[in-house]
Structure 1
Amino acid sequence: MTNYENQLKEIVKNDDYIISLLKAVEQLNLNDAWISAGLIRNKVWDVLHNINTPINDIDVIYFDSTDTSWETEKNLEKKLGILVPNQPWSVKNQARMHMKNGFLPYNSSFDGVAHFTEIPTAIAVKICHSELKIMAPYGLEDLFEKIVKPTPYYQNKSELSSIYTERMQDKKWDTIWIDLSIEV
């Protein structure tokens, strides 16, 4: 286990709010379920910058190729809303998310996370039998070194590179976390 994995686990373990969210997701007993993306990324950057930013959403991912309905995702959000009320839950089955940008079907949540737009966002965390697990297809170095660059699917020679470029212009992360290095 790398030092960054230990650091991320400590950050999460020391945040009662995130732990409560992870425990709620675990209670749903979904296949390959994780909390991913912005909540985790922003928490790390907040800790590194000694600030607290608002939570936009709580991205919960799972993988179920037998039921890819939007209604199921909305029902899961309602269940999470009962377990931890008044939170911005956003549940997405990775078995259908490939369609968003025209990829081949994903075969797992890991595959879905690997197709996220930028490397420091391509992370996920879960609790399984009281053990904290980390998923980071591209590692955690860029996240902790405050480097933002596209995953291989969105790099310059890719037809999807404009999605990354537009996302960086819209997000303006370097105005919140001022020493980020954003590759364009």
Structure 2
Amino acid sequence: MNDLNAPLVEIVRADADLMHVLTTLRGLGLPDWRVFSGAVYQGAWNAVTGRPAGYGIKDYDLGYFDPDTSWDAEDDVIRRVAAAFEPPFRDMVEVRNQARVHLWFHDRFGEDYEALTGTDEALSRFVAPAFAVGVRLEDDDAISIAAPFGLEDVFAMVLRPNPVRGPARGWLRAVESARARWPELTVVQPEED
């Protein structure tokens, strides 16, 4: 896993929009935050396929962890983040307190979701190992990476179901969306029961 960290850091640093988002978020001092999912792994896919930075990226998912699970506390952070950005980023940074996900996940996705203890733990529950990658710009300008399944699937452009959670209800939709933008993907379909 570690030998792929350096190429991912280079890809992140070469993406001016992602670096703008990371730099702005770092300045907000949010607890246990990461930008994860599409803005990160899709940047790697763009580099692997020779597409320009930013191709296919719809948003920047920001996860942070605050034990205050009230909607008011999360809404305050959402407003602070929005105020920190000018358009178009203001509408592209999607904020979620990972301490609250278990409160709404079942209603939205029809699956149970145990409460999390930190932002990085959320990555282990993502639909596919390739999606389970997050980055943060640290105070010393280092880019830290969290990838519980490693980065091999990201750079090999392989989509497979998360081995610890099984196929998610949104698996087919996620695959179709990704393949529409990156037809080079190799998809490993879930095994039938």
CA contact (8 A) 1:118 1:164 kept: no
Give the drift of 1:28.
1.6
Give the drift of 1:108.
0.8
Provide the residue aligned with 2:184 in structure 1: 179
Q: Relative to 1, partners in 2 of residues 1:27 and 1:151: Cα closer, same or farther, differing over 3 Å? A: same
Provide the residue aligned with 1:62 in structure 2: 64
Matched, 1:96 2:100: yes
- What do the CA deviations read for 1:84-131 (whole angstroms, capped 9, x no partner)? 212211111111213413122111111111111111111100011111
- What do the CA deviations read for 1:46-71 (whole angstroms, capped 9, x no partner)? 11112242431110001111x12334
**C-alpha distance in 2 between matches for 1:179 and 1:54:** 14
Q: Report the aligned-residue RMSD.
A: 1.8
Structure 1 runs (4+) greater than 6 angstroms displaced: none
Query: Which deviates more, 22-31 or 67-76?
Result: 67-76
**C-alpha distance in 2 between matches for 1:13 and 1:108:** 25
Please give the residue correspondences for 1:114-129 in structure 2 after superposition, counting only pairs within 5 Å. 114-129=124-139
CA contact (8 A) 1:74 1:91 kept: no
Q: How does the TM-score come out when normalised to structure 1?
A: 0.87
Q: How does the TM-score come out when normalised to structure 2?
A: 0.83
Q: Name the SS of the counterpart of 2:149 in structure 1.
A: coil
- What amino acid sits opposite 1:166 in the alignment? L
Aligned residues: 177
**C-alpha distance in 2 between matches for 1:89 and 1:102:** 26
Structure 1, unmatched stretches of 5+, are: 156-160
Structure 2, unmatched stretches of 5+, are: 106-110
